């Protein structure tokens, strides 16, 4: 598959938070990643691995401690005032739970059109017409324009969230666990909708999820995070059978599927992840890795290119 130009480049992003007891928590540790234009980049990892913090920095809800985020070549972490506000049009987010993200007193047409009104891209009297256009786009009836979001199912609410995110015609859309709270059948419909819209509009998508099997179905490329670090970046089609990092392999082997042999022991990842307040000196996965070697305790492995479009941070893998 041909590589598209990067529309968004994360360069050496680190995010640290001060805790109430004067310690420092590292949520993202020197992460570099490219979002190719018109492709889906999946970001996967356990809760607390830093994936949502990274996405919040991309949509400028959080400032990085260091590093750059380039959108179309410009470092958006330096933007201020009106330039910052205008940049928000290009990168939009769909949240996990739209019922908490939106004002329950607003009608669906107001939720969808609010960003357009804020940017003065439409007039108030155009709301009905514009809302119907976006309801059609996300396969919902036009009559929903006058409903309230609490009268809708989880899948319908998530479609409204997608319609609102698309209303500003963004180039990049971040979906942060946007399908996680939905039933599996509804989840499938939403995924199909996302893929359809992505192709029609050539949108770049960042798909944040902890479900690694879903990730391999939807993503062109998958970035695996562990304890704030990027440990593997692999083409989506290679994720299941070609991943090389022991953490990614452990995530894959712990996925349940209908044809699995339940007489065999299910492989669990042993121990707990270390605290992000007390990051290990060597490999962040060392205390849980069954292949751990002496070097892993002392030296943090760098993310290396090991084959075409495949990067791994592990001492077991040689640089190409």
Paired tokens of 207: 């798909």
Contact status, residue 118 vs residue 108, Cβ threshold 8 Å: no
- Tell me the window of 12-20, 21-29, 209-217, 282-290 that interacts with ligand SF4 (CB under 6 A): 282-290
C-beta closer to ligand SF4: residue 190 or 234: 234
Among 145, 197, 289, 303, binds ligand SF4 (CB under 6 A): 289
Number of residues that bind ligand SF4 (CB under 6 A): 13
Identify the burial level of 60 via C-beta atoms within 10 angstroms of its C-beta, where 0-12 means exposed, 13-18 middle and 19 or more buried.
Answer: middle
Give the x-and-dash track for 222-261 against ligand SF4 (CB under 6 A): ------------------------x---------------
Q: Which two tokens stand for residue 83?
A: 């330039």
Q: What share of the chain is helix, strand, coil (3-state, %, to 5)?
A: 35, 25, 40
Q: Distances in Å between the alpha carbon of 300 and those of 42, 54, 270, 293?
A: 24, 21, 20, 12
Contact region with ligand SF4 (CB under 6 A), list: 21-29, 152-160, 253-261, 293-301: 293-301
Cβ atoms of 227 and 274 closer than 8 Å: yes
Looking at the Cβ atoms of 147 and 300, the one nearer to ligand SF4 is 300
Question: Should residue 286 be labelled a site residue for ligand SF4 when binding is judged by CB under 6 A?
Answer: yes
Q: Residue 42 Cβ, how far from ligand SF4 at the closest point, in Å?
A: 20
Of 30-38, 136-144, 232-240, 289-297, the window that binds ligand SF4 (rule: CB under 6 A) is 289-297
Is there binding between residue 314 and ligand SF4 (CB under 6 A)?
A: yes
Alpha-carbon torsion angle 273, 247, 303, 204, nearest 10: -100
Q: Binding string, 116-155, against ligand SF4, x = CB under 6 A?
A: ----------------------------------------
**Contact yes or no for 243/232 (Cβ under 8 A):** yes
d(CA 71, CA 75): 6
Q: Does 296 bind ligand SF4 (CB under 6 A)?
A: yes
Chain positions contacting ligand SF4, by CB under 6 A: 246, 283, 285-286, 289, 291-293, 296, 301, 314-316
């Amino acid at each position: 598959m041909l590589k598209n130009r990067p529309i968004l480049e994360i360069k050496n992003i680190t995010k640290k938070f001060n805790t109430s007891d004067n310690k420092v928590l590292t949520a993202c540790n020197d992460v570099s990643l490219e979002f190719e234009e018109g492709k889906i980049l999946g970001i996967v990892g356990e809760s607390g691995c830093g994936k949502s913090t990274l996405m919040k920095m991309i949509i400028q809800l959080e400032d990085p401690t260091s590093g750059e985020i380039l959108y179309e070549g410009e470092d958006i972490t330096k933007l201020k005032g009106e330039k910052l506000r205008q940049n928000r049009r290009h990168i939009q987010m769909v949240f996990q739970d739209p019922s908490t993200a939106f004002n329950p007193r607003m009608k669906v047409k107001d939720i969808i059109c609010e960003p357009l009104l804020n940017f003065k891209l439409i007039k108030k009297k155009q709301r009905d017409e514009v809302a119907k256009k976006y309801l059609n786009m996300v396969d919902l009836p036009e009559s929903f324009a006058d409903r309230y979001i609490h009268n809708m199912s989880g899948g319908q609410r998530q479609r409204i969230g997608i319609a609102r995110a698309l209303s500003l015609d963004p180039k990049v859309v971040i979906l942060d666990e946007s399908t996680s709270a939905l039933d599996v059948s509804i989840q499938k419909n939403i995924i199909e909708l996302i893929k359809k819209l992505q192709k029609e509009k050539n949108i770049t998508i960042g798909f944040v999820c902890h479900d690694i099997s879903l990730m391999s179905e939807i993503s062109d490329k998958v970035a695996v995070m562990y304890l704030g670090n990027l440990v593997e970046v692999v083409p989506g089609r290679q994720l299941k059978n070609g991943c090389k990092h022991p953490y990614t392999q452990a995530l894959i082997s712990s996925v349940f599927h209908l044809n699995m042999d339940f007489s065999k022991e299910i492989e669990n990842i042993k121990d707990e992840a270390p605290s992000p307040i007390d990051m290990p000196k060597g490999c962040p996965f060392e205390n849980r890795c069954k292949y751990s070697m002496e070097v892993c305790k002392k030296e943090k492995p760098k993310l290396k290119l090991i084959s075409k479009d495949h990067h791994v941070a592990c001492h077991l893998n040689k640089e190409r």
